[in-house]
């Protein structure tokens, strides 16, 4: 299951995938997808990664994929191992 996280217009986060060294940017134009077993785990992971700087979080099927038209960069998976830059 996954938790989907959206961001406000002034939210900007960068993480680095530990396995590929790829920089991944999360901002108002994308939705972060975090693997989680349940709602509480997903919400806790969102706070661990992004702090209080995100807009909404949706657990699994609560996120309506037809709302992706508002997120030009689509869904971006949070890798299992990463380092937080900003």
Domain ranges of the chain: 2-84
**Which stretch of DSSP H or E encloses residue 56?**
strand 56-59
pLDDT digits (tens, 9 = 90+) for 32-85: 999 999 999 999 999 999 999 999 999 999 999 899 999 999 999 999 999 999
* Whole-number pLDDT of residue 41: 97
Q: How far apart (Å, rounded) are the C-alpha atoms in residues 15 and 49?
A: 9
Mean pLDDT score, 11-26:
97
This prediction's pTM = 0.93
Confidence (pLDDT) at 86: 78
């Amino acid at each position: 299951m996954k938790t989907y996280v959206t961001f406000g217009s002034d939210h900007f986060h960068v993480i680095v995938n530990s396995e590929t060294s790829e920089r991944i940017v999360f901002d108002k134009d994308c939705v972060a997808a975090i693997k989680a077993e349940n709602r509480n785990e997903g919400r806790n992971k969102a706070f661990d990664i992004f702090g209080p700087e995100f807009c909404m979080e949706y657990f699994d099927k609560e996120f309506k994929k037809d709302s992706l038209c508002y997120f030009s960069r689509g869904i971006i998976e949070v890798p299992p191992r990463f380092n937080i830059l900003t």
